[in-house]
């Protein structure tokens, strides 16, 4: 029934597109189909699963994040993504864009042994929290259609340089360091959430084009929850860009405000999380074969991360991204090599384990709506991937620390150095390699409560033990083969080797292998 409804929706979209095209000659139909195969090992950095199980059962959103609820370290599965987009250019500088999609893991479900007669099905990983096969289980909606883009574009709106976009749209500023993607998983249907196609924002965007100046103003609703309740999450911002005539240079300055009223329900104070981010970036080619890029950002506002927090804490955090890329050998060596290096810093809070009474300035970086991710494993730890040590400590303290509470979270308190390169053995094959090193900005310490509750897991009972700084090393190897103009094949192999930050039974290497075939039309 779900598949039939999906086919009907697509047929309706095609019929509308066909009719509009015949009438106006201005509708474009495009899309893609992507199929991925995954093989992952030791994603929690613990090959033994020797620790006792977590008392609480995982929620639906945590079903694939919990490293202790699984039968095998090696996990293999397939995932499909299908997208179809309509771009309609109408009269008087009016246009609209609509993109429908379906993303799902292949048949991640099992039959209900208690009721085989009706052939009811449900996701096996939900059995402990959702045993009723007739309940509203997300995996029974694997053929549902989602909406990723739906916006109206008005060019020369009231004033010739002004363009207005209203509706669900992509927002990407600069290199996506602060605002680039609103990543989420429609209906919880995929395990590799970092590959979700849902990156859009429900927003209004106004763009003033005074070539070479560009001024963008944006207002977005990130999370409405219940209409009328004061627990929304919103984004406001202004981005100013300038294109130079020489050295292929560009510069941008920006201010973005995230107001998050729903992170925790505070009892004692009326304020919430307010994050103001100001920053600037620039890039240039001082030499024809050399590209240099720099970006820095600073955050201020108020931090509220606890239900019983006594008073709001002021924010003062910063981030930096600097890179250099050299293509000198690209026109000399047959394989066209390109080499580069990048350094990134996300500041961390000086209090390793703050609580409701902690005072002083909060210095942890808020990742905002970052769209730039450079590695396959480490940069998703704390958001989509949870290590064994980080999970156990995070579950122990989550009831009192609800903002980036994983001890090894990659979204703040991290420095990283990346060295990368790519070659083209043939015109249709590209090979990419990347080596990354990750360490803390501030030392993390384990407090008495965590050690008393989980001492056997961490192998120590020392109070306020200072953890080593080095998170680990990652190597990513990717190969892309452009089979035709429309079809490409991809292969990714990534390995993360934990550093001395991780304890015994939490320091096994993680492996990520992904094969991809994509059709674009």
Q: What is residue 57's DSSP assignment?
A: P
pLDDT, mean of residues 62-75: 54
Kindly report the average pLDDT of the chain as a whole number: 82
**CB 95, CB 89: distance < 8 Å:** yes
Angstrom CA distances, 136 to 108, 123, 126, 482, stand at 16, 11, 12, 41
pLDDT computed for residue 125 by the predictor: 34
Q: How far apart are CA 63 and CA 389, in angstroms?
A: 17
For residue 241, pLDDT over 50 is answered with yes
Question: How many residues would you count in the chain?
Answer: 521
Q: Which residue has the tokens 């019929």?
A: 15
pLDDT computed for residue 122 by the predictor: 31
Which residues fall within 8 angstroms of residue 125, CB to CB, at 6 or more apart?
A: 63, 64, 69, 108
For residue 293, pLDDT over 80 is answered with yes
For residue 200, pLDDT over 50 is answered with yes
Dihedrals φ, ψ of 136, to 5°?
-80, 75
User: Measured in whole angstroms, how far is the alpha carbon of residue 293 from the centre of its chain?
Assistant: 22
Angstrom CA distances, 71 to 67, 68, 125, 126, 316, stand at 10, 9, 11, 14, 43
CA dihedral 348, 354, 357, 363 (to 10 degrees): 0
More confident residue, 304 or 15: 304
CA-only gyration radius of the chain, Å: 24
How close are the terminal C-alpha atoms of the chain, in Å?
Answer: 27
pLDDT tens figures, 448-486: 555 444 444 444 444 456 778 999 999 999 999 999 999
Q: What is the secondary structure of 405-433 as a DSSP string?
A: --TT-SSSSEEEEEEEEEEEEETTEEEEE
pLDDT, mean of residues 261-268: 66
Q: How far apart are CA 388 and CA 262, in angstroms?
A: 27
pLDDT computed for residue 72 by the predictor: 59
pLDDT computed for residue 447 by the predictor: 57
Domain 26-155+168-199+252-520 is found in CATH 3.40.630.30: no
Which residues fall within 8 angstroms of residue 246, CB to CB, at 6 or more apart?
A: none
User: Measured in whole angstroms, how far is the alpha carbon of residue 90 from the centre of its chain?
Assistant: 34
pLDDT computed for residue 174 by the predictor: 95
Q: Residue 421 corresponds to which tokens in the numbers above?
A: 């390169």
- Helix then strand then coil, % of the chain, to nearest 5: 15, 45, 40
Confidence of residue 265 (pLDDT cuts 50, 70, 90): low
Which residues fall within 8 angstroms of residue 160, CB to CB, at 6 or more apart?
A: none
pLDDT computed for residue 140 by the predictor: 62
Q: What is residue 45's DSSP assignment?
A: S
For residue 10, pLDDT over 60 is answered with no
Q: How far apart are CA 12 and CA 18, in angstroms?
A: 10
Confidence of residue 264 (pLDDT cuts 50, 70, 90): low
User: Measured in whole angstroms, how far is the alpha carbon of residue 244 from the centre of its chain?
Assistant: 31
For residue 287, pLDDT over 90 is answered with yes
pLDDT computed for residue 134 by the predictor: 42
Encode 430-443: b = buried (16+ Cβ within 10 Å), e = exposed: bbeebbbbbbbbbe
Confidence of residue 8 (pLDDT cuts 50, 70, 90): low
For residue 54, pLDDT over 70 is answered with no
Q: Global pTM?
A: 0.84
**CB 232, CB 225: distance < 8 Å:** yes
pLDDT tens figures, 15-35: 544 444 444 558 999 999 999
pLDDT computed for residue 231 by the predictor: 73
More confident residue, 92 or 475: 475
Domain ranges of the chain: 26-155+168-199+252-520
pLDDT computed for residue 446 by the predictor: 65
pLDDT computed for residue 56 by the predictor: 40
Single out the residue of 69, 41, 67 nearest to residue 57, CA to CA. 69
Poorest-pLDDT segment among 128-132, 245-249, 382-386 = 128-132
pLDDT tens figures, 347-398: 998 877 677 788 889 999 999 999 999 999 999 998 888 888 877 665 554 4
Q: How far apart are CA 470 and CA 454, in angstroms?
A: 22
For residue 246, pLDDT over 60 is answered with yes
- Cβ contacts of 139-142, under 8 Å, gap ≥ 24: 139/108, 139/109, 139/189, 140/2, 140/109, 141/2, 141/187, 141/189, 142/2, 142/104, 142/105, 142/107, 142/109, 142/189
pLDDT computed for residue 346 by the predictor: 97
pLDDT computed for residue 417 by the predictor: 98
Poorest-pLDDT segment among 304-318, 332-346, 483-497 = 304-318
């Amino acid at each position: 029934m779900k598949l039939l409804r999906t086919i009907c929706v697509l047929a309706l979209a095609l019929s509308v597109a066909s009719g509009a095209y015949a009438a106006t000659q201005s509708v474009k139909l495009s899309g893609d189909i992507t199929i991925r195969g995954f093989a992952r090992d030791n994603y929690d950095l613990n090959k033994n699963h020797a620790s006792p199980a977590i008392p609480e059962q995982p929620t639906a959103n945590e079903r694939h994040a919990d490293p202790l609820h699984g039968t095998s370290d090696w996990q293999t599965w397939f995932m499909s993504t299908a997208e179809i987009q309509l771009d309609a250019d109408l009269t008087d500088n009016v246009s609209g864009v609509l993109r429908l999609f379906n993303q799902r893991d292949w048949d991640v479900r099992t039959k209900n042994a208690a009721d085989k007669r009706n052939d009811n099905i449900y996701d096996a990983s939900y059995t402990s929290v959702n045993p009723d096969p007739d309940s509203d289980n997300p995996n029974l909606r694997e053929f549902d259609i989602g909406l990723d883009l739906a916006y109206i574009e008005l060019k020369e709106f009231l004033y010739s340089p002004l363009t207005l976009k209203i509706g669900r749209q992509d927002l990407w500023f600069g290199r996506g360091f602060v605002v680039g993607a609103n990543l989420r998983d429609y209906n919880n249907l995929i395990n590799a959430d970092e590959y979700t196609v849902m990156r859009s924002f429900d927003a209004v965007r106004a763009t003033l084009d005074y070539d070479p100046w560009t001024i963008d103003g944006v207002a977005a609703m990130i999370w409405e929850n219940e209409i009328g309740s004061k627990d929304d999450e919103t984004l406001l911002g202004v981005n100013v860009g300038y294109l130079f005539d020489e050295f292929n240079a560009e510069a941008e300055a920006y201010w973005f405000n995230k107001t998050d009223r729903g992170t925790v329900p505070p009892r004692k104070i009326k304020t919430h999380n307010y994050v103001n981010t100001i920053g600037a970036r620039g890039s240039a080619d001082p030499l024809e074969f050399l590209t240099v890029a720099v970006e820095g950002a600073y955050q201020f506002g108020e931090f509220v991360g606890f239900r019983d927090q006594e008073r709001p804490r002021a924010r003062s955090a910063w981030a930096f991204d600097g890179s250099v890329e050299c293509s000198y050998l690209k026109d000399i060596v047959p394989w066209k090599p390109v080499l580069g290096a990048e350094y990134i810093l996300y500041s961390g809070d000086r209090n390793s384990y703050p609580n409701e009474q902690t005072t002083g300035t909060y210095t942890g970086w808020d990742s905002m709506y970052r769209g730039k991710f450079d590695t396959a494993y480490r940069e998703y730890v704390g958001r989509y991937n949870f290590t064994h040590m980080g999970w156990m400590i995070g579950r122990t303290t989550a009831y009192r620390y609800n903002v980036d509470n994983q001890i090894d979270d990659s979204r703040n308190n991290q420095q990283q150095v990346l060295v990368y390169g790519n070659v083209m053995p043939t015109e249709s094959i590209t090979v990419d390699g990347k080596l990354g090193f990750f360490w803390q900005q501030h030392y993390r310490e384990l407090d008495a409560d965590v050690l008393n509750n989980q001492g056997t897991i961490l192998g120590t009972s020392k109070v306020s033990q200072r953890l080593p700084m080095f998170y680990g090393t990652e190597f990513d190897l990717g190969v892309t083969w452009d089979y035709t103009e429309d079809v490409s094949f991809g292969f990714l192999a990534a390995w993360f080797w934990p550093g001395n930050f991780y304890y015994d039974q939490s320091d096994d290497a993680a492996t990520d292998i992904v094969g991809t075939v994509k059709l674009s039309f």
